[in-house]
Amino acid sequence: YWLRTAPSYWRFFFFLASSRNPPLSPFFFFFPTPQTLRALAPFFFFSPGAPSSSPSPFFFFLLFSSLVLSPAQAIVVYTDKEVYGAVGSRVTLHCSFWSSEWVSDDISFTWRYQPEGGRDAISIFHYAKGFFFFYEVGTFKERIQWVGDPQWKDGSIVIHIFFFFDNGTFTCDVKNFFFFLGKTSQVTLYVFFFFLRGDGTGGLGGIFFFFLGRTERLEEEAFFFF
């Protein structure tokens, strides 16, 4: 008798304690499956003390989560691990994603940049609903070109390299409507700096080639060829 008159949540926990194989995932509150809904329907479908025709608000939350939020786990973002470029050139930062669900018109791409040795990342580019814009903060405002195509699940951009200190980590973040759990992917840019110097007769006097080392090394190497 006490179980029939107990609040829904007490009956629910009694159900968990008495079941050897409860049909629940560790994240059932946020991403319940249809099997979870069927298992919990006797406990949450009706509000305590309400007529049988009055569904519990918690049931609608479970239904909404199952139909809308559960696909949030099914999006994966891909980028290169490292890219290299030279001052005065341009480099493409590729970003693509895979999703088991349909791609909505609300697909969005956000690129962030963290300078080498820096602590904070800043947003430098955003695309959403067919429009893109560049953030005012940072040095890349006039040096970014959008080359992606959402229909092909592509959010790539081109960076025009002007300075050797453009070294840093770029992060691509993809959101597909309510699919908020897509994990970001990062690509590290390493910039080479070189120039030519002529000798007194107009011939090639030397080539100075500087390479800024990787983040963990934080040292500069110089190679001289004569």
In this prediction, residue 153 has a pLDDT band, given cuts at 50, 70 and 90, of very high
What φ, ψ does residue 8 adopt, rounded to 5°? -60, -40
Please check whether residues 181 and 205 belong to one and the same domain.
Answer: no
Please check whether residues 82 and 188 belong to one and the same domain.
Answer: yes
Please check whether residues 99 and 172 belong to one and the same domain.
Answer: yes
Tell me the DSSP string of 100-126.
Answer: SSPPPTTEEEEEEEEETT-S--EEEEE
**Alpha helical stretches, state H, the chain:** 2-5, 8-18, 34-44, 57-64
Please check whether residues 18 and 103 belong to one and the same domain.
Answer: no
In this prediction, residue 91 has a pLDDT band, given cuts at 50, 70 and 90, of very high
Please check whether residues 11 and 26 belong to one and the same domain.
Answer: yes
Question: Which range has highest mean pLDDT (62-66, 72-76, 80-84, 217-221)?
Answer: 80-84
Return the higher-pLDDT residue of 226 and 144.
144
In this prediction, residue 147 has a pLDDT band, given cuts at 50, 70 and 90, of very high
Please check whether residues 59 and 78 belong to one and the same domain.
Answer: no
Residues 6+ away with beta carbon under 8 Å from 196: 204, 207
Please write the tens of the pLDDT for every residue from 116-134: 888 889 999 999 988 888 8
At residue 22, does pLDDT exceed 80? no
Please check whether residues 100 and 204 belong to one and the same domain.
Answer: no
Please give the single-letter amino acid code of residue 145.
Q
Please check whether residues 79 and 163 belong to one and the same domain.
Answer: yes
Helix (H, G, I), strand (E, B) or coil at 194: strand
168: alpha, beta or left, given left = phi > 0 and alpha = psi -120 to 50?
Answer: left
pLDDT at 100: 77
Average pLDDT over residues 138-148: 86
Please check whether residues 35 and 104 belong to one and the same domain.
Answer: no
Please check whether residues 15 and 80 belong to one and the same domain.
Answer: no
Please check whether residues 94 and 175 belong to one and the same domain.
Answer: yes
| Cβ count near 9 (within 10 Å) | 12
Which residue, among 169, 168, 178, has the nearest Cα to 75 in the 3D structure?
178
pLDDT at 99: 83
Average pLDDT over residues 24-32: 45
In this prediction, residue 154 has a pLDDT band, given cuts at 50, 70 and 90, of very high
Angle between helices 34-44 and 57-64 (to 10 degrees): 180
pLDDT at 180: 53
Please write the tens of the pLDDT for every residue from 96-120: 998 877 778 888 999 999 998 888 8
**How much of the chain exceeds pLDDT 90, in percent?**
24
At residue 23, does pLDDT exceed 50? no
Number of structural domains the chain divides into: 3
Query: Of 42, 72, 102, which residue constitutes the final position of a domain?
Result: 72
Domain span at residue 66? Answer: 2-72
At residue 54, does pLDDT exceed 70? no
Residues 6+ away with beta carbon under 8 Å from 194: 86, 87, 207, 208, 209, 210
Please check whether residues 111 and 169 belong to one and the same domain.
Answer: yes
